């Protein structure tokens, strides 16, 4: 099996220099160096005799302490036909429920519950019900204010979605958050579809309840399977990205699961980690060159 190693740096830092790439290529006896973006990303074509695990170990040692991410993949199957993405702290920089809670005056409490849930310390569904309960009486109109003043799109997200769609991929935003947010965010980023939990509303306010069943860890994986089937694809033809414990199911099911600036439990259980780069790293992982990116 032919493998390719991809080295990626944050595009703002451009820390991938020729000297490091050359020494790394020599260490793994790479047959070829292919630059994807100057000082930001490149591919190293591995010798046929080198096993994936061996290359991963060497690359991890060489990149240790440097702002460079590494990944080793099958060269013939890394370009994907679909994208499944988490929203909170992945496609946007915030956790929407934490922003909602801040308006109620229970921000610190909810943020603590969110952190424990994303770290896998408490059940996601239970944690969501508890946090949503604290939003009882909050005006629905607050969502629009939060979207305008507090929510920022994660770097590289527009390029990721636009480039994959232009190359025929189906893109879906699958969130354990709420449709009140995914509707707007998916439109801004250009996703083909979105799925999330629905907050119950009455007389212009949230009731503190969410429609069951909750879209959690298992439901995210099920959504990936359903979307793949609907488009005549298999989960192996998707790249998935997320950061929290509730993303682990879909990350494991996808052909390429990427832990993006992830919580420790997610990073430890996901083969491919992006700790330094932004969302354009998912394009480099698939072999796209910078000059192929669309915004």
17 among known catalytic residues:
no
Q: How many CB atoms lie within 10 A of CB 115?
A: 16
Choose, from 69, 86, 98, 247, the residue flagged as catalytic: 86
Choose, from 88, 98, 247, 278, the residue flagged as catalytic: 88
Place of tokens 């832990």: 259
Q: What are phi and psi of 153, to 5 degrees?
A: -75, 140
Contact criterion met (CB below 8 Å) for 270 and 258: yes
Cα–Cα dist 72/6, whole Å? 6
Cα–Cα dist 251/285, whole Å? 15
Cα–Cα dist 273/284, whole Å? 13
Nearest to 125 by CA among 176, 86, 174, 195: 176
88 among known catalytic residues:
yes
In sequence order, the 6+-apart residues with CB closer than 8 A to the CB of 279 are 91, 154, 155, 156, 157, 159, 160, 241, 260
Contact criterion met (CB below 8 Å) for 263 and 138: no
Strand partners, 241: 85, 258
Query: Catalytic residue positions?
Result: 86, 88
């Amino acid at each position: 099996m032919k493998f390719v190693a991809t080295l990626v740096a944050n595009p703002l830092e451009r820390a991938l220099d020729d000297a490091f790439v050359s020494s790394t290529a020599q260490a793994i006896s790479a047959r070829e160096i292919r630059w994807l973006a100057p000082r930001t990303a490149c591919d190293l074509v591995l010798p046929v005799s080198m096993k994936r695990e061996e290359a991963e170990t060497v690359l991890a040692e060489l990149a240790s302490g440097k702002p460079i991410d590494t990944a080793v993949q099958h060269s013939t199957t890394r370009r994907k036909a679909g994208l499944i993405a988490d929203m909170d702290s992945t496609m946007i920089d915030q956790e929407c429920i934490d922003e909602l809670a801040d308006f109620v005056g229970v921000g610190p409490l909810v943020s603590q519950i969110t952190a424990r849930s994303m770290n896998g310390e408490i059940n996601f569904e239970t944690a969501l019900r508890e946090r949503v309960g604290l939003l009882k009486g909050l005006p629905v109109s607050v969502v629009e204010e939060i979207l305008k003043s507090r929510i920022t799109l994660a770097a590289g997200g527009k390029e990721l979605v636009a480039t994959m769609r232009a190359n025929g991929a189906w893109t879906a935003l699958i969130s354990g958050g709420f449709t009140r947010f995914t509707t707007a965010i998916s439109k801004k980023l250009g996703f083909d579809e979105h799925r999330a939990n629905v907050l119950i509303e009455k007389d212009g306010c949230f009731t503190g309840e969410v429609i069951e069943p909750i879209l959690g860890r298992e439901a995210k994986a099920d959504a990936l399977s359903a979307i793949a089937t609907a488009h005549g694809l298999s989960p192996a033809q998707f790249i998935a990205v997320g950061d929290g414990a509730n993303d682990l199911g879909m990350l494991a099911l996808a052909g390429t699961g990427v832990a993006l600036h992830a919580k420790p439990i997610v990073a430890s259980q996901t083969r491919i980690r992006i700790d330094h780069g932004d969302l354009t790293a998912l394009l480099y992982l698939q072999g796209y060159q910078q000059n192929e990116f669309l915004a």
